């Protein structure tokens, strides 16, 4: 028995169709049905031959090669749940995951890929996102995906080949991009960074687009040239595994979905996820009380009112207007 059993494939096809309908209901890809076609065609279960879900005793492993038919069914149904899946752990630390499919769909739509675009993905993960991109573009060679861990890139290659795709998979530091494959029209990161690496702008064509998780949000930048880019955050929250490699530290983790808010702030601040986003985005630049006063004074803004400007060696975050008055530096 295995992942290519006729019964498993039939169950996977039905579960995949149900997932597409679930994302349909959220109206994620209105106006861009090519992504619906990609999610309907690319078999996610081939990219997660095993994964971990949180159970009563910690992480529970689900495996497509289990000798127990019921366990195999739980595995394939879970593979098509609209949920992130932990795929690689080390000493209890999450190293790699397959992101929530509806969030992946939102990110891919926001990337604004067009026919013929060359795309760099930072954070190969399971290879599933690269397969979706390759399906959308209709040419594997237009997609490059990079990850620091050789084990991750090797498994991503295997998964991609099993699904019939062979994009370029590179083992390396994603913060440095993949200069030998540049220039790119689009760059998408599927791991969290504390800032925008300058190497990405240098490897992106003028007018290109960069979409990257930053401070529990998704930042969409338009590149002017190798030194300049600007853009706003999407309204969607996003929590990703941090990029490992040559990137600066923010000096501590920002508050996540249930993360701590510094003492001395009103109790309701702990309940306000949009404020925790500002706290993460301004960490080290704004005092928490100052950030809270700003947030309250400006009408409790959500993510979509914030943006980032890259100007040479400077990276600045801002609220509403890149010219100010509310501007602060990122690392």
Q: Give catalytic residues, as residue numbers.
A: 96
The position carrying tokens 């030194």 is: 227
Element (H, E) at 210: strand 204-214
Angle formed by the axes of helices 101-111 and 128-137, nearest 10°: 40
Sheet arrangement for strand 50-55: 58-63, 50-55, 85-90, 93-98
Residues 229 and 226: their CA atoms lie apart, in Å, by: 8
Structure-block tokens of residue 292:
């809270």
Residues 222 and 220: their CA atoms lie apart, in Å, by: 7
Cis? peptide before 325, omega within 30° of 0: yes
Residues 154 and 171: their CA atoms lie apart, in Å, by: 9
Q: Which of 80-119 are b and which e, b meaning 16 or more Cβ less than 10 Å from the residue's Cβ?
A: bbeebbbbbeeeeeebbbbbbbbbbbbbbbbbebeeebbb
Cβ proximity of 186 and 213 under 8 Å: no
Q: Which residues of 66-107 form beta strands (DSSP E)? A: 85-90, 93-98
Cβ proximity of 72 and 1 under 8 Å: yes
The C-alpha angle with vertex 110 and arms to 105 and 113, in degrees rounded to 5, equals 95
Q: Which of 297-313 are b and which e, b meaning 16 or more Cβ less than 10 Å from the residue's Cβ?
A: eeeebbbebbbbbbeee
Residues 88 and 123: their CA atoms lie apart, in Å, by: 13
């Amino acid at each position: 028995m295995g992942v290519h059993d006729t019964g498993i494939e039939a169950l996977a096809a039905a579960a995949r169709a149900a997932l597409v309908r679930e994302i349909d209901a959220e109206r994620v890809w209105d106006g861009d049905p090519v992504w619906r076609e990609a999610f309907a065609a690319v078999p996610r279960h081939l990219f997660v031959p095993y994964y971990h879900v949180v159970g009563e005793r910690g992480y529970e492993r689900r495996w497509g090669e289990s000798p127990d038919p019921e366990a195999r069914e739980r595995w394939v149904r879970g593979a098509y749940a609209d949920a992130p899946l932990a795929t690689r752990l080390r000493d209890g630390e999450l190293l790699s995951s397959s992101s929530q499919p509806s969030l992946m769909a939102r990110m891919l739509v926001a990337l604004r890929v067009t026919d013929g675009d060359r795309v760099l993905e930072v954070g190969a993960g399971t290879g599933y996102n690269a397969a979706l991109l390759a399906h959308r573009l209709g040419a594997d060679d237009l997609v490059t995906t990079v990850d620091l861990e050789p084990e991750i890139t090797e498994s991503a290659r295997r998964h991609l080949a099993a699904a019939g795709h062979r994009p370029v998979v590179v083992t390396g530091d994603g913060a440095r991009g993949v200069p030998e494959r540049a220039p790119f029209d689009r760059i998408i990161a599927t791991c969290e960074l504390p800032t925008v690496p300058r190497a990405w702008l240098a490897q992106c064509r003028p007018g290109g687009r960069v979409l990257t998780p930053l401070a529990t949000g998704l930042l969409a930048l338009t590149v002017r040239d190798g030194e300049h880019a600007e853009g706003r955050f999407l309204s969607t929250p996003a929590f990703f595994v941090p990029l490992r490699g040559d990137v600066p530290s923010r000096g501590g983790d920002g508050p996540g979905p249930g993360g701590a808010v510094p003492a001395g702030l009103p109790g309701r601040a702990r309940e306000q996820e949009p404020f925790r986003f500002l706290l993460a985005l301004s960490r080290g630049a704004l005092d928490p009380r100052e950030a809270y006063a700003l947030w309250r004074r400006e009408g409790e803004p959500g993510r979509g009112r914030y943006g980032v400007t890259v100007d040479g060696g400077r990276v600045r975050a801002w609220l509403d207007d890149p010219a100010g008055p509310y501007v602060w530096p990122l690392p």
